[in-house]
Chain A
Amino acid sequence: QVQLVQSGAEVKNPGASVRISCRSSGNIFSRYYMHWIRQAPGQGLEYMGMTAPTGRQTTSAQRFRDRISMTINMTTTTLFLELRSLTFDDTAMYFCARGGETATVNWFDSWGQGTLVIVTS
């Protein structure tokens, strides 16, 4: 079972950016699609976007398209999510999750533990 370990909690002001990392116990980023999902306090799951193997392509949900970046550092086997222009509504737990080796595998079989981002003034 692959382990995904995310970076620690962040507290940010409105308008700032946040960068979250997700490290893999193995070199899965060269083979698997990786995804980001978030969950506001007491709310359901919201899909944010995905990175193709090696980071060659990214696709994000429409509502995040102009302020999200998803990258991979293959040397350190670390996946990154950057979210810019934060608002209070971005306060949430952010999860990285592994998809499949092909784009047709539309589910997430391993998840990071989550990174809490709090946006506060």
Chain B
Amino acid sequence: IQLIQSPSSVSASVGDSLTITCRASQDIAGWLVWYQQRPGRAPRLLIYAASTLQTGVPARFSGRGSGTLFTLTINTLQPEDFATYYCQHASSFRFTFGPGTKVDIK
């Protein structure tokens, strides 16, 4: 299963809202995960099972989707949200990451 993210990069301002898309090459039901990675840091789990917010993640992050199309929305961007975001799927012990979407400051 391949995961394609769009856009590959986006520029935004503090306070903006933005949506990142992850498309799967075949139906994966709701089995999609989102991570945030700040420069020089390990990835951080944001959302699992497409829409469940990990404990401690701010509510401005939300995930939606099923089947082959998924979205991550960040409302009211904060300075600490400028990072790279990855989607991820697993089935039958095969784990796949999307190529990432870099969000930088306009």
Contacts and interface: CB of A to CB of B under 8 A. Distances in A.
A36 B94 CA distance: 13
Interface string B33-49: 10101000011110010
A44 B31 contact: no
Interface stretch (A11-19, A67-75, A110-118): A110-118
B99 interface: yes
B95 A47 contact: yes
Contacts, number: 50
Contacts of B90: 106-107
Interface string A13-46: 0000000000000000000000101000000111
Interface string A96-113: 010000010011110111
A114 B35 CA distance: 16
Interface residues of B, number: 23
Interface in A83-106: 95, 97, 103, 106
B41 to A, nearest CB: 8
B33 A107 contact: yes
User: Which of B31, B37, B93 has the most A CB atoms < 10 Å from its CB?
Assistant: B93
A59 B42 CA distance: 22
Contacts of B23: none
B51 to A, nearest CB: 13
A21 to B, nearest CB: 16
A59 B100 contact: no
A31 to B, nearest CB: 18
Interface of A: 35, 37, 44-47, 50, 59, 61, 95, 97, 103, 106-109, 111-114
Given A47-B96, A107-B90, 15 more contacts: A35-B95, A44-B86, A44-B97, A44-B100, A45-B37, A45-B88, A61-B95, A95-B42, A97-B43, A103-B93, A106-B91, A107-B45, A107-B48, A109-B54, A111-B44
